[in-house]
Structure 1
């Protein structure tokens, strides 16, 4: 994922000046930053959110136009950067909206799904534009979002974490075997497909935890090291989230805990806490699934020391 300093570099290098849609994306993000700085004043924050929405609408319209087949060598770099800016802005905006609520600061499942789906959708944009930018400096923005395969033996997750992920895999199989099929999920999908998507998402999530452990010790942890998970998901897994499928929500809860490692990233500072609280509320009445949220909640309380130490 594009980092903040690289967004500024992209602007300074003339991309945003040359391509107004990227400028609108950056202005929307800047307005969100100002809303965050004024988070204790709902009235002021609301004004900045309105400014954000105005610029974001223009940026998203340009992105949709590009997806209709208008990606060129000339605009690909700016679109590549815009995809990352919009993704980060979506996280920041959801946090700002939750902050503005007078009572419970948490996300609905729809709000969580929107951010996850957008992250998945942004992968399509970067896939379209990457062939044009692969040999340009802008491609470096995404180069180090995952550890090299050659580093796989350099770091490993603690035994307690590996054991918990093994328990999660077992939970997925048990739930699959013991829970009746949900008609809304199985009309066009086999139950075996559903559990397969969940296992794949969990395996990718384990690699994110390993990424966190590695980068916290080698060069510093950045948002892209964590927030690449939504882009790895099967599209149909994201539909399980929207359908409030218990095991899928549990996995998102574990991802939410992972995002709390990014304390310095203001735009996702509270995302994990708000998401986990929203998932806990959504699973009310399903004590079997809710108990699986105890582990990520404990990791949030301990600031993910089990992975970072």
Structure 2
């Protein structure tokens, strides 16, 4: 050490001790700071490190805390749910960025600097900074189609994240997933980004649970609400990886072992968010994140009914009301009256959700008819990622709240009818409300249900499977 070689007492201050700072020497403690990851320096254009590339769409390879196989984000929480108004959608980020005037500067919290002076060794690194930059300039713009709401995600949420570490880790997690799912340069980078997201998700959830146990003032309720929404989004987004891995499992072996063919924890997770926030929704609606909660859209109920249901969905109730012979199909030979009632409730909720989503689509977009409105609604982004208005997707999320708990229990027991209803819901989530974080997961759900269903039942999800085939070209 420099001080030891010079025979002077060292105060061991970081990042540089006091003696070295005063004499402008290279302090030994500087060598203890995290180094710049090679892939990050190369891909994000760090001046003087690697190859500088200026395109903002270049891939980012962050450093990973650990390569020891972290838990998937969706499994990090045992329960959580979707509030009745979540404004999350897909949007053309370039068009949105040019349409809005330059916003005022973000308020700087002086406490950040006092905390830094007390402990200048950084908790976060350049990979984290790159993910925060991606959040502010890219990811936040994909979570709503409304410029005012985009500003809440890009600016207000960042301010809360700087004050509440649980939200900061959540923002970093979903930003990394956004990069992984939209522009990875290699399989290795994809895996690194997903692992990075899982690490930050785990930390976010741990801090989240601690904050719930000891609530404080200073906007913590707003930050907790935002993170609960992000947790739900991450749970759905990461289904694409979990179900893809599960597709390799031998179905016969899985059934014989009694293991679940499809994990449904993400549904309970989404429902739980409403439980956490329901009593605070009115206060949240009046606060700085109010635009994420309230809706000012006026609907003309009944004007835009969905008259174009596919035959398999329109006649689906016949499956559990005796019109369809079910002899020899496991689980369907005898359906109790109670189960029939549960399936009816889930089915009616699904049809209502489709109808309400259609009403919102037409109320929010100009045009004389469905084709004009839907064309306008989906024409604002790239060909592979259509645009969906915030309230439309929020309505689709509400189905997870409308379904009875008994339906979820039947789904967890892998009841064929429950799986068929889920496949039709996934079609709504994947086709009508496609986003970078929901589309592929939705289609993976449909494929999984198709694989596990008895061949005689597959005709009941033919229209969802047709959507999957079209998406896959």
- Regarding TM over 0.5, the answer is yes
Of 292, 305, 316, which residue of structure 2 is paired with 1:156? 305
Deviation at 1:122, TM superposition (A): 1.8
Of 313, 318, 321, which residue of structure 2 is paired with 1:173? 321
How many angstroms apart in 2 are the aligned matches of 1:104 and 1:74? Answer: 45
Alignment RMSD (CA, Å): 3.6
Corresponding residue SS for 1:86: helix
How many angstroms apart in 2 are the aligned matches of 1:261 and 1:55? Answer: 30
Residue 125 of structure 2 is aligned to residue 125 of structure 1: no
How many angstroms apart in 1 are the aligned matches of 2:294 and 2:447? Answer: 33
Q: 1:287 to 1:200 in 2, by over 3 A?
A: same
Residue 296 of structure 2 is aligned to residue 296 of structure 1: no
The aligned runs of 1:112-261 (5 Å cut-off) are 112-144=263-295, 150-158=299-307, 160-161=308-309, 165-174=313-322, 191-219=336-364, 220=377, 221-222=388-389, 223-261=393-431
What's the counterpart of residue 445 of structure 2?
275
How many angstroms apart in 2 are the aligned matches of 1:198 and 1:165? Answer: 13
Q: 1:134 to 1:89 in 2, by over 3 A?
A: same
Of 170, 179, 183, which residue of structure 2 is paired with 1:25? 170
Q: 1:86 to 1:50 in 2, by over 3 A?
A: same
Deviation at 1:206, TM superposition (A): 0.7
Unaligned runs of 5+ in 1: 304-309
**Is 294-303 or 225-234 further displaced after alignment?**
294-303
**Is 191-200 or 234-243 further displaced after alignment?**
191-200
How many angstroms apart in 1 are the aligned matches of 2:304 and 2:323? Answer: 32
Corresponding residue SS for 2:180: helix
Deviation at 1:137, TM superposition (A): 4.4
Q: 1:151 to 1:263 in 2, by over 3 A?
A: closer
How many angstroms apart in 2 are the aligned matches of 1:78 and 1:111? Answer: 32
Q: 1:128 to 1:19 in 2, by over 3 A?
A: farther
Aligned length: 289
Query: If you compute each CA radius of gyration, which structure gives the higher value, 1 or 2?
Result: 2
Deviation at 1:40, TM superposition (A): 5.9
Contact 1:280–1:290 under 8 Å retained in 2: yes
Considering fraction of residues, name the structure with more helix.
Answer: 1
Corresponding residue SS for 1:265: coil
Q: 1:86 to 1:237 in 2, by over 3 A?
A: same
What's the counterpart of residue 12 of structure 1?
155
Name the TM-score, length of structure 2 as normaliser: 0.53
Deviations 1:157-199 (A, max 9, x none): 11x528654522232222899789x99xx9xxx9333222221
Deviations 1:31-68 (A, max 9, x none): 10121134562211111111111111122223434555
**Is 164-173 or 46-55 further displaced after alignment?**
164-173
Unaligned runs of 5+ in 2: 1-85, 89-142, 255-259, 365-376, 378-387
What's the counterpart of residue 237 of structure 2?
92
Corresponding residue SS for 1:289: helix
How many angstroms apart in 2 are the aligned matches of 1:67 and 1:103? Answer: 36
